[in-house]
Structure 1
Amino acid sequence: MSDEHPVLSICMTCRDGREAETGARGGSRLAAAIYAQISEQTATSVTLRGVKCMSQCKRPCIVSLCQVGKFTYVFGDLDPLEFAHPEALIELLGRYSKAPEGFLARMDRPELLRPNILGRFPPIRSASPLVSRLDPVAAE
């Protein structure tokens, strides 16, 4: 895995309630849809990886986007059958790659993903004004 490319992690064990009719978990179907979309776009530099569980069972299907020195994003409630979700993730990757520290305000993210965000976490050594050091308060 290269530190110079974003990493898109996809929970492979997420269930979307269609397992009986499709024969596969929602997470694995979402991963296949994302892989197919990204494979068609050779200009997209990203590492895709499957994760056995991302502990967000109440909000499946889950993905996270991270890169060394950049913010990490977690999105849930993605529908493996919704063709627009993989497209929105590819659009997000392009914006993320160009943004300083990968920081994307709500309005900078693809509209389809805005309500699906579960978390935005700063890199350890962030220069972002969103992050400040908390010094212990002296006990009175």
Structure 2
Amino acid sequence: MSKPVLFVCQSCNLSSQKDLEPPLGISLVNRLNEINSDKFVVQAIECLWMCERGCVVALCANNLPTYLFTDLPLHEIPEALVKFAELYLNSKGKFIPHSKLPQVLQSAHVARIPAIQAG
């Protein structure tokens, strides 16, 4: 299986800090690149169209569901996303209970989007 991709909205800022430079999304991308243990690819995306719900990330891989996280505060999020990526890989597509998410991710809005099944 190819590595999962963590898409990060690089233009994201919290709605209360819309003019912050650099955007929180860029700070998140930079921190994830520092701590990523090469288990997934970090890919900055110009915009994920969830501007009122920043910071926003999506984790996806071939034949696995996509997880979309919104309303992410920057504090503790990079480490929590790395832990979640490990859960994601180990789940092999099975449902990950909300209670298993790192604590800081439990307060985010989360969507689980089913994988597309080829065939």
TM-score interval w.r.t. the shorter chain?
A: 0.7 to 0.9
Select the residue among 17, 28, 45 that pairs with 1:51.
Answer: 45
1:76 to 61, 70, 74: 70
> What is the aligned counterpart of 2:114 among 109, 117, 122?
122
Secondary structure of the residue that 1:9 maps to in structure 2?
strand
Written as runs of structure 1 = structure 2, the 5 A alignment for 1:22-41 is 23-38=21-36, 41=37
Length-normalised TM-score, structure 2: 0.87
Which stretches in structure 2 are left out of the alignment for 5+ residues? none
Taking every aligned residue pair, what percent have the same amino acid on both sides?
26
Structure ranking higher on relative contact order (CA contacts 8 Å, 6+ apart): 2
The one-letter code sitting in structure 2 at the alignment partner of 1:86 is P
In the aligned structure 1, how far is the partner of 2:95 from the partner of 2:19?
A: 35
Gapped regions of structure 1 (runs ≥ 5): 127-140
Kept in 2, the 8 Å contact 1:70–1:101? The answer is yes
Runs of 4 or more above 3 Å deviation: none
| Distance (Å, rounded) in 1 between the aligned partners of 2:104 and 2:90 | 20
- 3-state SS of the aligned residue for 2:44? strand
